[in-house]
Amino acid sequence: MLLEVKDLKVSYGNIEVLHGISFNIDKGEIVTLIGANGAGKTSTLASLARLPRPEAPVVTGGDILYEGLSMLKTEPHTLVQRHMMALVPEGRHIFGNLTVEENLKIATYPNRKEVNKAVINAETVEMVYSLFPRLEERRKQRGELLSGGEQQMLAVGRALMTGSNFIMLDEPSMGLAPKLMYEMFRALRQLNQIKHITILVVEQNAKVALEFASRGYVLKTGEIIVQGSSDELAANPDVKKAYLGG
């Protein structure tokens, strides 16, 4: 088991938003967590990534095991380096005033003023560019001039630059035209198949998420209400009604 979330409870202040959720991911799997607005998807990812932000949720119960070790006892900054997990956050957060290439460099050298000093792994950059040829075409273009889909690709590319073998994506389909969205998911699947990267994708778009992942969990107001293979979930009458437009 790569990741095991056990009875996880999470709060903002004294408001509990995750009421004891459990799920797991094996090495090499693509798993999805689907749910409506406010179900707790982003809070789940934030708890896993343990972003050091003031508005970060607080884990009040349960545990998160990564390769059998409790992550709750690990400093957040060591997670990327030691546990090799990377988060592609909702809304992308790329640097608009830096070029595509600089955005990729900064992933491995987090000093924005000295980004030119970054030594990047040529093989990894090659891999990112072969996965997303659009990024190579636009490597000298500033981030803010990219389209939404290209920015999303860049955000994924940046996560790959860290050399992580586990990537978590928060609503990668958000705001993308269908063609770009499928291009993105195709690239992610390729990554999973060729590089054996494990993927956890959080999505409001249940239809596309279940096409992409092999297994999934449905999160509703802080609880997991159904789980199963993507085929089982897609055929489940409740899931169909609530998340797949009937």
Q: State the residues that interact with ligand ATP by CB under 6 A.
A: 12, 17, 35, 37-43, 55, 204
What would the two tokens of residue 124 be?
């990894």
Instruction: Identify which of residues 44 and 151 has a Cβ nearer to ligand ATP in the complex.
Output: 44
- Nearest distance, CB of residue 38 and ligand ATP, angstroms: 4
- Nearest distance, CB of residue 30 and ligand ATP, angstroms: 19
Instruction: Identify which of residues 160 and 224 has a Cβ nearer to ligand ATP in the complex.
Output: 224
- Nearest distance, CB of residue 202 and ligand ATP, angstroms: 7
Angstrom distances, CA of residue 212 to CA of 84, 112, 198, 234, 238: 23, 34, 13, 12, 20
- Nearest distance, CB of residue 200 and ligand ATP, angstroms: 13
Instruction: Identify which of residues 37 and 111 has a Cβ nearer to ligand ATP in the complex.
Output: 37
Instruction: Identify which of residues 100 and 206 has a Cβ nearer to ligand ATP in the complex.
Output: 206
Angstrom distances, CA of residue 117 to CA of 105, 128, 141: 9, 20, 19
- Nearest distance, CB of residue 170 and ligand ATP, angstroms: 7
What would the two tokens of residue 36 be?
């409506």
Rounded Cα distance, 44 and 22, in Å: 11
- Nearest distance, CB of residue 204 and ligand ATP, angstroms: 5
What would the two tokens of residue 141 be?
């273009």
Instruction: Identify which of residues 12 and 144 has a Cβ nearer to ligand ATP in the complex.
Output: 12
Instruction: Identify which of residues 51 and 118 has a Cβ nearer to ligand ATP in the complex.
Output: 51
Instruction: Identify which of residues 43 and 164 has a Cβ nearer to ligand ATP in the complex.
Output: 43
- Nearest distance, CB of residue 39 and ligand ATP, angstroms: 4
